[in-house]
Amino acid sequence: MSQIDVPLSPSGFGQTRRADNWWVQPLFVFLGLSSFIVYATWAALQGAHYRFGPYISPFYSPELFGPSGQAWFGAKPTWMPAWVTAAVLILWAPGGFRVCGGARMGCRSVQNLTRAGVLARVLR
């Protein structure tokens, strides 16, 4: 059986043979998602300023507890800690989906759209 010797040259940490800036797009995605997580955490723990006229923030929808007459369960109970807002009670479900594998399914669907050329046509 014949063998082929592949010479390996030592390289530095994170060094590749690619000449392009492949890391720019993942960096922007990471920064965008990280900034959204910081904003969402701030908005969820704030517990105020989530209404503007008849409109309600999606983080607080549906309004479970609150001073308005539209809250499902009335005023916030006194025994509930201050950091537990309506957004904290609501956002665990979509947040848990994204953390526990939903993100991987979303990435696969984007890859399939890209392979099919659908995404390329939409982005033109």
Between the CA of residue 89 and those of 23, 31, 103, 106, what are the distances in Å?
36, 26, 21, 24
- At 50-59, the pLDDT tens digits run 888 888 888 7
pLDDT means per 10 residues in the chain (124 residues)? Answer: 77 76 88 87 82 81 76 83 80 70 53 50 50
Beta strand ranges found along 1-124 (DSSP E): 51-52, 55-56
Q: Is 0.75 topped by the overall pTM?
A: no
What's the CA gap between 6 and 87, in Å, rounded? 56
Could you tell me the residue ranges of all domains in the chain?
24-123
What's the CA gap between 19 and 22, in Å, rounded? 8
CA nearest neighbour of 46 among 72, 96, 84? 84
